[in-house]
Amino acid sequence: MALLTFIGAIQEVTGSCYLLETHDGVKVLLECGMRQGVRDREEKNRSAFPFDPSSLDAVVLSHAHLDHSGLLPRLVKQGYKGPIYATQSSCDLLELMLMDSANIQEKDAEWESKWRARLGRPPVTPLYTLEDAEQALKLRRPVSYGSTVEVAQGIRVTFHNAGHILGSAIVELEIHEQGLTRRLVFSGDLGNTCSPLMRAPTPLSRADVVLLESTYGDRDHRDNNETLSELAGILEQAHKDGGNVLIPAFAVGRTQDLLYYLGRFYQEGRLPQQMVFLDSPMAARANEIYLSHVNEFSDSDREYIRGTGTARLGEWLPILRTTQSPEESMAINRIQSGAIIIAGSGMCTGGRIVHHFKHNLWREECHVVIPGFQAQGTLGRTLVDGAQFARILRQRIAVRAKIHTLGGFSAHAGQSQLIQWVANFEQKPELYLIHGEREKMDALQAAIRDRLNWQANIPEPGDRIAI
């Protein structure tokens, strides 16, 4: 009988990680995500893995976001040498994500060591290096949607479209042992069916055990058209107020959604700003990867873009300017009004958006648009919760800019969408809620019980179940 251990993203949103072990001693790791948010949570990324990395037979990833993939270089550094299975476009994005993360780890360690030296403290080492990331990337094994591959003895995997970001997958695992077949389905991060570019998540009907994400398990997102109208209103008001609009966004997924919508506004004559800055070299590279996989876009959005006669991003949003160097990024801060600035990180825990906050957050004519989930302990969550002051680059900055939260832009399914997807399963398999804060899980558990007469389980970290 196979066993599944719940390691990460258990009653929290980041650090997705689950270990599958069969009676025959086969071990497959599902996800190897980085914890993000408050410092003590991020310090757990340095904790020892609760298994021997060299004993694993395979790693399977649902998608490339760091909270699902970010510890792969560390896993390899500590002895893992097996294959890493993901969809083709996830494999492409993984190179971008892991190399950028490794670069940040090295630079942060260098900066922290210099700071500690002044205090007479020993230096710190990076969580992992660029070399570690390169070694991890050599282990990638791309798999097409709908294809079934044996990733280890007795374990076959099929990826289905999850509609979250490019390449995101629902992971279906068939476990063959002792003459029996058991089926584990992991939702990955399910997409919001209103998200642009992505196709709707694939419905599945057969499983013995289902792991369901619950990031937005407590609520539904606003109607997409209402959200777009609100965004258009914010941009118009910022234009009248004479300030800039700052949008913290994940380089992969959220940025592409925003550029699509801003391009629509431009094509429809509804964009009052004359400058849109994408201040993220990583997001610019992600755009190129997205455009190389346009066959994965939804049919309706491809037709809409084609109908405008725009073949390239430069025609879709001609006022877009991408910045590469730090000098180009700093030059943006001389612009006092009329600019939309999109930059990472998505939860404002670092990156160039923090520097733009330093120059704009205290200005009451400026506007900040928060387009997605902000985890507890992040600067983004502090702003969403209405703080009057924020700690930015070791300085206390007044928050006078207007803060707007647009939940309708989330790339995650809302409560009703989660319930609708899981309701496709026949025979009500064992259901476990993961990848969500406890209060979100409690709300989703109650809603599933009330609407589907189905008891969902909420595991504790380290729990093990038989499959």
| Span 72-104, pLDDT tens digits | 999 999 999 999 999 999 999 999 999 999 998
**Size of the chain in residues:** 467
Q: What is the CATH number of domain 3-219+411-466?
A: 3.60.15.10
| Backbone phi, psi, residue 441, to 5° | -65, -45
Return d(Cα 157, Cα 29) in angstroms, integer: 12
pLDDT digits (tens, 9 = 90+) for 214-263: 999 999 988 888 999 999 999 999 999 999 999 999 899 889 999 999 99
Burial of 259 (0-12, 13-18, 19+ CB in 10 A): buried
What lies within 8 Å, CB to CB, of 442 at 6+ separation is: 218, 458
Position 309 scores a pLDDT of: 60
DSSP strand pairing (3-8 vs 464-466):
antiparallel
Burial of 130 (0-12, 13-18, 19+ CB in 10 A): middle
pLDDT above 90 coverage of the chain, percent:
81
The mean of the pLDDT values for the chain is 93
Query: Can you say how many angstroms the Cα of residue 400 is from the centroid of all Cα atoms in its chain?
Result: 29
For the chain, the helix, strand and coil percentages under 3-state DSSP, each to the nearest 5? 35, 20, 45
Residue 42 above 80 pLDDT?
no
Return d(Cα 420, Cα 182) in angstroms, integer: 23
Domain locations in the chain as residue ranges: 3-219+411-466, 224-409
Residue 409 above 60 pLDDT?
yes
Report residue 431's pLDDT band, with 50, 70 and 90 as the boundaries: very high
pTM, whole model, 2 decimals? 0.90
Position 38 scores a pLDDT of: 66
Q: Do domains 3-219+411-466 and 224-409 have the same CATH topology?
A: no
Q: Is 3.40.50.300 the CATH classification of the domain at 224-409? A: no
pLDDT digits (tens, 9 = 90+) for 118-139: 989 999 999 999 999 999 999 9
Does residue 435 contact residue 408 with C-beta atoms inside 8 Å? no
How many secondary structure helices (H) and strands (E) does the chain include? Answer: 15, 21
Task: Please give the angle made by the CA atoms of 278, 45 and 155, to the nearest 5 degrees.
Answer: 95
Closest CA to 145 of 127, 130, 118, 163: 163
Residue 49 above 80 pLDDT?
yes
| Window from 196-210, 266-280, 300-314, 432-446 with minimum mean pLDDT | 300-314
Residue 310 above 70 pLDDT?
no
SS3 342: strand
Residue 48 above 60 pLDDT?
yes
SS3 427: coil
